């Protein structure tokens, strides 16, 4: 089974996933909820339903472009963002934004030659455990057909990942620069 990461809104899709897990519609596994995603968003909780990694988010509007890319880079073969139906977002328009953002990331990965369908957005309501299972099955099948994902395996070594460099250069460096 391909490796799938699902960002799920806690007000809808996450409930659906939990219900699906409880009903055993997928594999019957219950979802352990202690783990956290390291790195970018220490606040996200992760669980599993079947082979799918479910990342619980307060709203899909909270999912950033970089979160999706990091999931792919980190080894996911496909990433889905599961939000409330339009008009049903707890925060009014978080799901609409998330959907647009997913469209943006799809274009980004298409530009570098990666199948855009590796990233998709779906709407769910909390009681839609059956729809959740169907989405996962269908998506897994699609992703499987695409072959392995774009995980890099490149270790980002010493020269730093994303930390904002602030403060002053040493006086010498600044002076040397000015002198040039």
Partner 1 sequence: MIVAEQKPVAEILRMIDGYRRILVVGCGTCVTVCMAGGEKEAGILASLIRMAWAREGRLSPLIDVSEATVERQCEWEFLGDIAEKVAASDAVLSMGCGAGVQAMARMFEGKVVLPALNTKFIGMPERQGLWTELCAGCGDCVLDRTGGICPIARCSKSLLNGPCGGSQNGKCEVSKDIDCAWQLIFDRMKSLGRLEALGTVLPPKDWFKNRDGGPRKVVREDMLL
> Which one of residues 10, 46, 51, 70 is an interface residue with partner 1 (CB under 8 A)?
70
153 binds partner 1 (CB under 8 A): yes
| Listed ranges 29-37, 58-66, 81-89, 127-135: which one lies at the site for partner 1 (CB under 8 A) | 58-66
Structure tokens at 59: 């709203």
According to DSSP, the residues that pair with 80 across neighbouring strands are 6, 120
1 binds partner 1 (CB under 8 A): no
Nearer Cβ to partner 1, position 47 or 149? Answer: 149
Nearer Cβ to partner 1, position 145 or 152? Answer: 152
Nearest to 17 by CA among 50, 61, 64: 50
Question: What is the rounded CA–CA span in Å between residue 128 and residue 103?
Answer: 24
> Which one of residues 109, 124, 135, 143 is an interface residue with partner 1 (CB under 8 A)?
109
| Listed ranges 8-16, 54-62, 64-72, 84-92: which one lies at the site for partner 1 (CB under 8 A) | 64-72
Tell me the C-alpha to C-alpha distance, in Å, between residue 152 and each of 7, 71, 73, 142, 149.
21, 11, 6, 21, 9
**152 within 8 A of 73, measured Cβ to Cβ:** yes
Nearer Cβ to partner 1, position 100 or 141? Answer: 100
Those residues with Cβ within 8 angstroms of residue 117's Cβ, 6 or more apart along the chain or in another chain: 78, 106, 142, 143, 146
> Which one of residues 73, 116, 117, 144 is an interface residue with partner 1 (CB under 8 A)?
73
Those residues with Cβ within 8 angstroms of residue 23's Cβ, 6 or more apart along the chain or in another chain: 129
> Which one of residues 1, 23, 35, 174 is an interface residue with partner 1 (CB under 8 A)?
174
42 binds partner 1 (CB under 8 A): no
Q: Which residue has the tokens 């000015």?
A: 178
- The minimum distance between CB 127 and partner 1, in angstroms, equals 34
Which residues contact partner 1 (rule: CB under 8 A)?
A: 64-66, 69-70, 72-73, 108-109, 111-114, 150-154, 156-170, 173-174, 177-178, 180
């Amino acid at each position: 089974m391909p490796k799938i990461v699902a960002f799920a809104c806690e007000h809808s899709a996450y409930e659906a996933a939990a219900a699906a897990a409880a009903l055993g519609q997928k594999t019957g596994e219950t979802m352990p909820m202690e783990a956290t995603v390291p790195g970018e968003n220490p606040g996200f909780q992760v669980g599993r339903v079947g082979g799918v990694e479910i990342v619980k988010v307060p709203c899909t509007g909270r999912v950033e472009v970089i979160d999706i890319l990091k999931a792919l880079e980190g080894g996911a073969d496909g990433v889905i963002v599961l939000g409330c139906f339009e008009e049903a977002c707890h925060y009014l328009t978080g799901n609409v934004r998330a959907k647009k953002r997913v469209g943006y990331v799809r274009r980004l990965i298409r530009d570098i030659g990666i199948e855009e369908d590796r990233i998709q957005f779906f709407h769910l309501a909390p009681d839609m455990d059956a729809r959740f299972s169907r989405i996962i099955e269908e998506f897994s099948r699609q992703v499987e057909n695409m072959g392995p994902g774009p995980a890099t395996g490149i270790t980002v070594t010493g020269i730093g990942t994303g930390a904002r460099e602030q403060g002053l250069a040493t006086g010498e460096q600044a002076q040397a620069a000015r002198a040039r």
